[in-house]
Amino acid sequence: MKRTSTKLADGRELIYFDLDESAERDTVDRRALESVDSHPELRLDLATGDWVTIASHRQGRVHHPPTDACPLCPSRNGRHSEIPAADYEVAVFENRFPSLAGRFGRCEVVCFTPEHGASFADLSEDRARLVLDAWTDRTERLSSFAGIEQVYCFENRGAEIGVTLAHPHGQVYAFPFVPPRTAKMIAVAGTHRAVTGANLFEDLLAEARAATSRVVLAGEYWTAFVPYAARWPYEVHLYPHRRVPDLTRLTEAERAEFPGMYLELLRRFDRLFRQEGEPAQPAPTPYISAWHQAPKTGGQELALHLELFTVRRSAGKLKFLAGVESGMDSFVNDVAPEAAAARLREVAS
């Protein structure tokens, strides 16, 4: 893998990741670009103990631009985008409208492909591996920054999720605090260790593999399964069989197997709501794909895993977070986890 780091016109970092060690990318940003006045603020919710980010400057960010004005496409035919090169494989840059910045963390955009109309599921295994290497690189480097507690790599896909740029991309957040979901998992894992003497995440994986009814896909080094108490209609967790804290600790064998398994899961998600006899479903399945990694502080019990879920519960219906979920964080799932796993096995390639 070749890694090329440069600066955009306003001083933000841009990094190209290429499979070809001889690849040369245009690193000169020819735009006359003024800096965005981004000064996010962290405020503590005294009722819950959760940190809330106030980022009012994001109101002015780009929202559903036409294809010929996409800021994530390569710079071509006299049009300059966030990526100066006329082509790229994987590119990562600091978000121009970040939720976290400066001493309050960092936000980055990960462009998976130069093809505007593609998706992660369209990537080759080699290109998906390159994305994994980029995620690993960002995890290692951002974790080394002073004040960063946790690195979170994720992808939102689909307007139903709230995506404002259609180009296939993900994001990386470097948090200066441990986010609430991570803190909750660490606390539960600590209690589990105290009661059983075992690691919670190892036990969750072992239980799912033994039950088999919720296993979606199993490899030599990874297993994908629907959790016993899934919150979302179709939710899959992907675990390496060997417990590691983050992406940087995966072995070469684990890295090599991941792309094929992950691409198969994404392609199954895109077949979930296809009607029998129809060649394709009306629109790609919206989803969130999220890597959970151990934070610097107190995360020794947390195991690296990926959580993939969709807000769609049937071909024409979405799972809205209404009063119970949004108001009380108490989820109600309309699809049994065992039925969801069966459907995901049914739509295998």
Active-site residues, by number, are: 169
116 known ligand binder: yes
Report which of 205, 201, 196, 203 is spatially closest to residue 185, judged by C-alpha positions.
201
Report which of 163, 151, 182 is spatially closest to residue 287, judged by C-alpha positions.
163
Token pair belonging to 264: 């198969």
**Cα 215 to the center of its chain, rounded Å:** 21
Report which of 237, 61, 240, 92 is spatially closest to residue 173, judged by C-alpha positions.
92
111 known ligand binder: no
Each residue of 200-225: b (16+ CB within 10 Å) or e? bbbebbeebeeeeebbbbebebbbbb
* Adjacent-strand bridge partners of 282: none
Query: Distance (Å, rounded) from C-alpha 255 to C-alpha 66?
Result: 36
Do 87 and 130 touch, CB atoms closer than 8 A?
Answer: no
Token pair belonging to 30: 């020819």
What is the number of alpha carbons within 13 Å of residue 80 lying toward its C-beta? 11
Q: Which residues contact 111 (CB under 8 A, 6 or more apart)?
A: 72, 83, 88, 90, 91, 92, 167, 168, 169
Report which of 86, 87, 82, 85 is spatially closest to residue 110, judged by C-alpha positions.
82
Query: Distance (Å, rounded) from C-alpha 162 to C-alpha 49?
Result: 26
User: CA–CA distance from 311 to each of 73, 107, 149, 231 (Å)?
Assistant: 27, 24, 29, 10
Give start and end residues of each alpha helix (H) in the chain: 125-143, 180-196, 200-211, 252-269, 328, 337-346
107 known ligand binder: no
Do 76 and 67 touch, CB atoms closer than 8 A?
Answer: no
Which positions make up the binding site? 70, 73, 116, 167
Which positions make up the binding site for Zn(2+)? 70, 73, 116, 167
